[in-house]
Structure 1
Amino acid sequence: MAGSINTVFAQTEYELNSGWKLKKAADVSSNGSLISKTDFALTSWENATVPGTVLTSQLNNKQVPDPFYGLNNEQIPDIYKTGRDYYTYWFSKDFKEAAPAGTNQVYLNLRGVNYSCDVFLNGHKLNAKLHKGMFLRQRYNITQWIAKDGNNRLAVIVYPPDVVGNANGGQGGDGTIAKGVGLQYTAGWDWIQPIRDRNTGIWDKVTIERTGAVAIKDPHVITLVKGVRNPEGPQQPAIIQMSADVENAADVPVTGTLQYSIDGKPVAKKVTLKAKSIQTVQLDDYTLNNPKLWWPNGYGEQYLYPVKLQFVAGGKVSDQEEIKVGVRQITTQWNDKTESKQVNVNGQKIFIKGGNWIISDAMLRFTDKRYDAEVRFHRDMNLNLIRVWGGALIERPEFYEACDKYGLLVFQDLWGSGDCNGRWVDPMKLEDQWTRRKYPDDHSLYLESIIDQVKMVRNYPSLAMWCGGNEITPPEDILIALRDKIMPRLDNTRWFIEYSNSETMSRNVLGGNGDGPYGIQPLSVFWDFKTFPFNSEVGSVGVGDIESLKRFMPAANMEALPEFDEANGKTKTDPVWDYHKYIGYDAVINKYGKPKDATDFTAKAQLVNYDQYRGLMEGFSSHMWDWYTGVIIWKTQNPWTSMRGQMYDYYLDPNACLYGLHNGSQPLHIMYNPGDGMVMVANNTFKAHTNMMLVAKIFNMAGKETMITQVFSDVTETTTKRYLSVKKQLDEAAKEEGAFLMLQLVDHDKKVISENVYWVADEKGMYSGLQKMPASQVKTVAKQTAPGKIEVTLTNPENAPLAFFNRLSLVEAQGGKRLLPVFYSDNYVSVLPGQSKTVTITYDTAQYKTLPAVSLYGWNLKEQTIQIAN
């Protein structure tokens, strides 16, 4: 049925995100009915941060030190020792909202409270029984309780998790944190220290929503894109399916129309709703002609159709939901050659290059801007998927909005981990495997929460996979309900994986957990050692540079460098390094010369970082569709100040890991195998590339060039092609003091479309030549080309040494403080003799109003500041 789209916007929703107060419940003698009346005095109450946790409010009120700095976290009382009452708090908020007229309604929405709560408004308790569940949204019709004078007060008492767990140093502490339906990492993990309040609080958004008599709830959009599509050119039609629950809160029946428009064409259905009823309305399928499709990063555009889903009654919009629809279809199939699942988008096979994600901030301080920056970094790494790990949460809509925008598919774990939930014997755990296998205690709450969260995020095109848990399935009754009932009914177009390294996604031919290895590897391992064909976790190191360390480490501890004993293979670390989960670089850094201080250590660590992650992704790409259908790095980000597994630090400052991945994950990429010296081209696009020139050269430490080969090249789509081995020439050139290998792909216009510069050790495995390189002669010019956009050009003269491994940073013009977050088209760049390279820098001018400067240092270049030409 056709219908006109009413342009009147009747719905209003706003967030209650300031002006909150809190007080420890033990210090409050009155009950919620009294506290929630506006004449109850809150003068002795403190400012509260909402959304936020008790610990967030304490930190903002300067009652506790920053737990992310040094050993400060040890000064904060842990809930396991204090008891739950210590972190049980009242939260209160006064707000203006006039009583609605006629059949109009007002709703209170709480998107997340950890862990249980009672909710009061203007003297009335809204929940009939104690609300439980960190991930279960709450929605209350507060129409009848709105104050006549428009002055309202909300009061919420928030209780911590019922079982808080003993943070005894194990993965998830003693494991009992998993008895609840909540976060497991809060009791500590091998990458984080315990969160002392276990994230108790009103941690997610609180909103007030106005509607007419009828409200729209949980709309559902499905897009069907049949056949094999290409990103460019005319498209065959796609099918749009839309449904929603509509609730009539009025005491009388209401007749109206549920309708939406996509690409200017209306779709509508007339319905009559009984008084005080909810009805699911399925709109007719809509055929969208010549659709603009949504593609993962690296394969095409991420087009999103803006859609307004409205319920119109009596010529007025009663309620409206705004949805951005990405038209795409995700399918999977078993790849017999790799013995693993293959992911297809719009009929095209996608080689999965992913990163494991924990959570944006360990204290749940989420912002749209931070989500956008973090996901953008993953786009800049040339990745196409983010896996959200099961010891955290089903990510927030704002995370998914960023993934939609930047083209990152999402592999979403449900709550649970092999560590807490009983996969392994573990002496750190309180209870045995059989008992832990049944966690959480309340299976009904778990399933109710899953149903709610699936409805919350299922419309995002980036969401590609649901996963039962990290390295373990949920208990059998939960798994059966998820697999056979809940997902087929609520979200039946996505791949449901029973657990993160399941043999249904990747044949476990090697034994073990089905993932790994972790930590520093010889680069040849990534190329020549066959691991799991869809590897959900494999990774390495991630220490930032000296500026990163300064943000969370006292100066004295910073200079107490880790000491690796090659005799016993063990590393001795300072307590602060150890507390922040330093993972050893072992003897690898010493190959560049024993570090003199923290600045030298972290600079050399960046060389290792870059090499490790470039090599990891190149090695997996060299065997795509042969050994592998996908790889997911453990891990690409940290939600606190950890010193391992991160491409950028907690403060959103990228390190060389990010740019090693950016290079190694390039869609069309030239590379070499450090084991057999083979030069290869990986083409991870849907296009064949022909009439290219492959160039291979060697440079010595003084910059002298030796041509190895220059040949025409072509490569078919979604494949890797072997060309020639340069091992003999490179071994000979590098014998004395090492050498540089430069590989390029050049198009017919002589434009470089892929370049790679490798530094190669001498015959003893040392980088002896790097330690005595001649000084760089690079010249640098920076200019502003648009507000928030800087272009920096590095030019290396002819006959000069290679300008090696140059780090660019945008800094304050006065004082030189590094600006964050800032985005670089490339970094840690090397410039050949006679070559120029331009790096584009973008940043938020609203955050930094004055023109900044550019800081530059390189391996053979002392730090300098470049002023920006306006």
Structure 2
Amino acid sequence: MQFHRFTVVFYLIFLFSLVLAEASGQSPKQRYELNSGWVCKNIKELESSGEDLSRRGFPTKEWMPATVPGTILTTLLDNHKIPDPFYGMNNTRIPDVYDTGNDHYTYWFVKDFKEKAVSNEQVWLEFRGINYKAELFLNGKKINKQRLEGMHLRHQYNITHLLSADGDNRLAVVVYPPDFPGAPNGGQGGDGTIARGLTTQYTAGWDWIQPIRDRNTGIWDKVTIEKTRIVNLKNPHIVTLVPGKRLPEGAQQPAVIKVTAELENPTSKAVNGFLQYRLAGQLIRKAATLLPNQTTTVSLPDYTLQNPKLWWPNGYGKANLYNLKLEFVSNTAGLLDEESVNVGVRQIDNIWNEHTRSMGAFVNGQKIFIKGGNWIISDAMLRFNEERYDAEIRYHKDMNLNLIRIWGGAITERPEFYNACDKYGLLVFQDFWFSGDCNGRWEDPMKKDDQWTRRKYPDNHDLVLTAAEDQIKMIRNHPSLAFWCGGNEITPPDDILLPLRDEILPRLDGTRKFFDFSNSDEMSFNDLGGNGDGPYGIQDPKSFWGSRTFPYNSEVGSVGVGDYVSLERFIPGENLVAPEFKNKIDSVWNYHKYIGYDEHIDPYGKAKNAKDFAMKAQLINYDQYRALMEGYSAHMWDWYTGSIIWKTQNPWTALRGQMYDYYLDPNACLYGLRKGSEPLHIMMNPLDSMVSVVNNGFSTRRNLMVQASVYDMEGKQYFNTQAFNEVGPSSVRKLFKMNGFITKLDKKEGIFVSLRILDEQKVLLTENLYWLPGKDGKYGGLQQMKKANLEAKAVNVGKGKISVSLTNAAGNPVAFFNRLALLNKDTGKRILPAFYDDNYVSILPGETKVITLEYKDELAVRKTIEIYGWNVPKQIIEIN
């Protein structure tokens, strides 16, 4: 009975402590960024020690304002010390660290901040990324015992004992560039020695970027102060198990939630309490004793979630998320620390497809045809922000893609990137930090060291394994993270690969497929001789339909020149000429990595100037990426289980491989790919004119009315057919050929072919318009088309949302290939980013098309809509 009374009293005290914690309205964790008020100075201008610099009395009034988070180059640019390296030939005017020596880009950073240590409170300083080495000092004392090394690594320090009594503190950080910045000699990764350190390989230059002169040296990611009540809850791990084959709609069978977390007790006394979380109204908890000065991993009981709202990839269902708040509650002091995690309940499996001889991706038991894009990095100078990440990932969603592969020559992407992928339903294929070019897959005369020496890069293998553990913990909870990969086109060395594959990933994750490298035979195997990637460059659209490549292609594609407005942003006026790749190419176009469009432009008429070139380039862009995804979709589950485009975005102002430019302005690649990747799509094989319907969904689509029409260059409709059909789940169905009609009607100048799918109520579900050349393979008819004046109206339909209707009068020719752009009315500049549910659209005679666009609404900015097309005069319309 006495034991029972004691238990009751103890439980009442425990409940009372919880009430006090909640009544205070204060979270036990307080976190804020040190993201302003930094100053910096080059190391050559100082002789003082870190102890001296980190004392409040040391004068810093004459120091340069520093951008943190950011790189040295960003700080210099923000202070007008260098020209914009993304414009013209400016990058050639900036000293390169290989030539100057590392001291030129070695800087001290100083930040004053207010913070006091309070009883029963711990204060933590965290750096989420420093490149490449650093020493840290606070209030005259050194923080780190050993010099920090490695770009891909977080660092957290308990600074409670170092804080000043009056709350006035000074932090001083010296940051050194990579020990081996590498010679930027024009090779992939320069001379390759950049890979001797654990840093971004692309900064020594690649075939899509010029060298980044400071090699991304700096405090490049967030610096955070975090306050906890005694215990530090960190690195939670959430695993969801979704057995069976599911559908997005309807009631669901249960799912299992598994949760663990690390609990750090930095004090000299043991702490008793509970690790717990609430989900769907249920409390799941486990008692834990935290020993002094130790970190303990606690596993909670498995929780069975009834009727879960599942997370699905884009195009297959909603990307549902739960917020899970994990707490540690002391037996005596109430809530001590907490972490919030967004959880997507889903299960990802991989099953080898013996027919295609490639890996198949399954989510919640359903096979997913992978339509992916390769991602380098958001910004080559690491100027990251949540809004830009959100916009870029939304563009990928708008392309109807379902996967992004993060290329190995850059970084482990930031949590904000993954948050956006979680939100928009983009699976992520995450490479580790190796590439075939720098890490020795091939002999290469541009490289300083031989193949076998490069095969051992980086120099510090233990550092790689430490960083891998840390970065896995950082991103493993994101439902979008689908696959791990050892490296781009090469495995890491065995003493990195084997521990990573056989011990670290099973221990820290254990739920995701690990590919040893990006075009490994375990990913796909081509009967012609293993796996690979490509082709690259502009292809004949017919080749995507008729030439079989690798069954799960990790890299295919290449073009992506923007329109004239895009080119004007970074090419000086005197260099805005029609490029001639095979003759003498302009120096700026060449410096920005232009790929020749020449023989592909010429069938539309040789480009008269840069503006004419840019417009015709969009026709090629659209056709390329529509045909690419149509060709792969036409053979899904037969030749292919997926493809990943090289590449969908650029972190620099390059002239290749992008669906939108660095300034977030889309080009026609985005909308051609959007069309070809539709979940429900109608298409025509250019080899034999077979019309097919693709259904990427999990359910049969019934009672689909299919329409096919042909229009000549005058706008006359020659042919129309209708048929009702059904298409099974995750399949493609061939319907009928149009070659007889096309041959009969294919006059010298070419024709348009319009394909549509309607439902039983004759509501348009999707449409597709092809423009075909004349018998000579040229587009003479397009060059001679009559003008089609569109009637255009724009209406605000909500905050940050505009509806634009475009009407083409009967008797007109097709109003072909119209670009819409949202403008700032006062400046005439495009408002970016802006998201259109379609663009580069064509309107048939006598028809109206409605386009909806969305943007971040800024009330003070007056807006108009610009419209122009191939045979449609440019007009600016007001928004009602």
> How big is each residue's C-alpha offset from its partner over 1:480-535, in whole Å with a ceiling of 9 and x where there is no partner?
11110011101100010000000001003334861100011111100010100000
Q: Cα distance, 1:103 vs. partner?
A: 2.1
Q: Does the Cα contact within 8 Å between 1:680 and 1:720 map onto a contact in 2?
A: yes
CA contact (8 A) 1:334 1:342 kept: yes
Kindly state the Cα deviation for residue 577 of structure 1 after the two structures are TM-superposed: 0.2
Report the more deviating stretch, 315-324 or 325-334. 315-324
- 2:88 aligns to what? 70
Paired letter, 1:181: L
Give 1:644's match in structure 2, choosing from 647, 656, 669.
656
The answer as to 2:300 corresponding to 1:283 is yes
Question: How big is each residue's C-alpha offset from its partner over 1:639-693, in whole Å with a ceiling of 9 and x where there is no partner?
Answer: 0100000000000000000000110000000001111111111111111111111
Contact 1:193 1:579 in 2 (8 A): yes
Q: Which residue of 2 aligns with 1:852?
A: 863
Matching of residue 193 in structure 1 with residue 210 in structure 2: yes
Matched, 1:238 2:294: no
Unaligned runs of 5+ in 2: 1-10
Do the aligned residues in 2 keep the contact of 1:10 with 1:316 (CA within 8 Å)? no
Q: Does residue 660 of structure 1 match 2:677?
A: no
Moved more, 235-244 or 510-519: 510-519
* Residues 307, 325 of structure 1: 8 Å contact kept: yes
Residue pairs, 1:642-791, within 5 angstroms: 642-791=654-803
- How big is the shift at 1:801? 1.1
Paired residue type of 2:232 = A
2:147 — aligned with what? 130
The answer to whether the Cα contact below 8 Å between 2:524 and 2:531 also exists between their aligned partners in 1 is no
CA distance in 2, matches of 1:761, 1:540: 23
CA–CA separation in structure 2 for the residues paired with 1:537 and 1:807: 29
The answer to whether 1:257 aligns with 2:268 is no
One-letter code of the match for 1:19? Answer: G
Q: Deviations over 1:209-252 (max 9, x none)?
A: 00011111100000000000000000000000000010111211
Match for residue 302 of structure 1 among 298, 316, 319? 319
What displacement does 1:436 show?
0.5
- Deviation per CA, 1:345-392: give whole Å up to 9, x if none: 000000000000000000000000000000000000000000000000
Equivalent residue, structure 2, for 1:867: 878
Would you say 1:316 and 2:334 are equivalent positions?
A: yes
Query: Is the counterpart of residue 574 in structure 1 residue 591 in structure 2?
Result: no
Q: Secondary structure at the match of 2:874?
A: strand
Contact residue 136 and residue 452 of structure 1 kept, 8 A:
yes
Structure 1 equivalent of residue 828 of structure 2? 816
TM-score by length of 1: 0.98
8 Å Cα contact 1:708/1:729 also seen in 2: no
Sequence identity of aligned pairs in percent? 59
Q: Distance in 1 between matches of 2:86 and 2:156?
A: 34
- In structure 2, the CA distance between the partners of 1:74 and 1:513, relative to structure 1 (3 Å rule), is farther
Q: Residues of 2 paired with 1:711 and 1:251: CA distance? A: 78
Q: Alignment RMSD, CA only?
A: 1.2
Residue aligned with 2:504, SS: helix
Q: For 1:200, give the aligned amino acid.
A: T
- Paired residue for 1:274? 291
Shift of 1:339: 0.4
Whichever residue aligns with residue 800 of structure 2, its letter is: G
Corresponding position: 1:349 with 2:360: no
Amino acid at match of 1:296: P
Is 2:465 the counterpart of 1:453? no
Aligned pair partner of 1:339 in 357, 369, 372: 357
Residue aligning to 1:441: 459
Q: Deviations over 1:715-750 (max 9, x none)?
A: 001001111111232133223100000000111010
Partner of 1:422: 440
Q: Partner of 1:567 in structure 2? A: none
Aligned match of 1:589 in 601, 611, 618? 601
Q: What amino acid does structure 2 have at the position aligned with 1:771?
A: Q
> What secondary structure sits across from 2:780 in the alignment?
coil
Q: Which moved more, 1:781-790 or 1:811-820?
A: 811-820
Instruction: State the alpha-carbon separation in 1 of the partners of residues 563 and 168 from structure 2.
Output: 52
Structure 1 residue runs of 5 or longer lacking an equivalent are: 565-569
Q: 1:816 offset after TM fit, Å? A: 1.5
SS in 2 for 1:572: coil
C-alpha offsets along residues 607-630 of structure 1, whole Å, 9 cap, x if unaligned?
A: 000000000000000000110000
Distance in 2 (CA, whole Å) between partners of 1:320 and 1:38 is 33
Equivalent position SS for 1:661: helix
Who is 2:416 aligned against?
398
Cα deviation, residue 11, structure 1? 0.5
Q: 1:109 pairs with 118, 126, 147, which one?
A: 126
Q: Which moved more, 1:201-210 or 1:835-844?
A: 835-844
**Retained in 2: the 8 A contact 1:781–1:793?**
yes
Superposed, 1:157-168 pairs within 5 Å as: 157-168=174-185
Name the structure 1 match of 2:235. Answer: 218
What amino acid does structure 1 have at the position aligned with 2:788?
S
- Within 2, Cα distance between the matches of 1:333 and 1:247? 39
2:811 paired residue among 799, 802, 819: 799
Hey, what's the Cα distance between the residues in 1 that align with 2:445 and 2:688? 44
Q: Work out the CA distance in 2 between the residues paired with 1:735 and 1:517.
A: 33
Distance (Å, rounded) in 2 between the aligned partners of 1:781 and 1:835: 14
Q: Which whole-Å CA distance do the structure 2 matches of 1:595 and 1:512 have between them?
A: 41
Q: Does 1:480 align with 2:498?
A: yes
- Residue 93 of structure 1 corresponds to which residue in structure 2? 111
Distance 1:365 1:399 in 2: 13
Q: How does 1:147-186 map to 2 (within 5 A)?
A: 147-186=164-203
- Please report the TM-score for the alignment, with normalisation by the length of structure 2: 0.97
> Could you say which residue in structure 2 is the equivalent of 1:16?
34
Alignment of structure 1 residues 195-210 onto 2, 5 Å = 195-210=212-227
